[in-house]
Structure 1
Amino acid sequence: MIRHQTEKNALSTVVAFSAGLRAHELATIRRANEIQPSPHRQWDSRRFNGQDNVQKYIVIGKGGLRREVALAKNLAEMLEFRRLEVPNKVVDREIFYNQYYDIGFGQAFSQSFTNASKTALGFSHGAHGLRHSYAKSRTKILCKLGLSFEEAQKVLSQELGHFRPDITLAYYR
């Protein structure tokens, strides 16, 4: 699919898949040394277990929750290549964001993904399907590391920014 997208949307597809991001969260990605995760949450130390050689970033999700995400170092290098010298003020779905990287996000990215998927595969489950794929992949990894399914769901719910393990069950449809 990424062969059917612009360079910046293709990078967004890989980042969203690799970190389980929502389309709008791509606009909010920041270096972990620039902003802190939400302090009012108790973060599980097992987040990102099994992911080696990663760079941490912070995204802002639903309700303003700031959470860490992990990107493979080579992917982080590609992202840093698209770093903006000055953040752009952007809007998506009537919400304003400060964007720090020249990558696709939000509605335009979602449409790009859908079009690329239809061209490449003949159908699309939408960009949110990348988040579902991340959830399934991470559950397998966490269980292989010895976590029970229930423990894996707890960890995954934090990686996805839900903090409610039961919500993650929807990602297996």
Structure 2
Amino acid sequence: MQMIKFYVFLTLIADSCMSFPKSYQARFVSWNSKGSIVDFRVRFLGRERRLNGSVIISEDLDSKRFTMSAETYSDVSGGGDYKLMPFSMPHQSICQAAKNYGIYFRATLKYGVNTDIPFESNPCPIPKGNYYMKNASIETDDWPYIMPRGYFKGVAKFKKDNKVVGTQEVVIFIEDRTP
């Protein structure tokens, strides 16, 4: 019984901390897309580096044949010396990955506002199509409360039948929020 109370206490603390405004902000630096099945074609506009472009999914992405994993790296100095971080996404079905980790992108890519990517409803299979992203800036509302400052790189690998069919490498810059 004591352990349950402790768990409830920790959950309440974590939820309340997530509701505090973040002390950092983030902006896109680069996005490199390689692959044939999931192809992001993006560019960044303006000083705010707003994301614009499309994602082309050439096949329905089902849970039996398609999987993905991701790793994150940090470079505090900006000199290109990236260090592997403990934030990662283990190898799992593409539908499970979208369901488990989509929360980190929902504030940035809002269905019906600046994208038509159908992740909001967690479809499985994820339908093939050509989807847009328009004027999206990084929103950190659902991110961890504490993040390292500097350059942050995420590398996702998409697999079909256990063979890599694409990678996405996204670099963002995290800095203290200006008042």
Q: Give the TM-score, by structure 1 length.
A: 0.27
Bigger strand share: 2
Flag the structure with larger Rg.
2
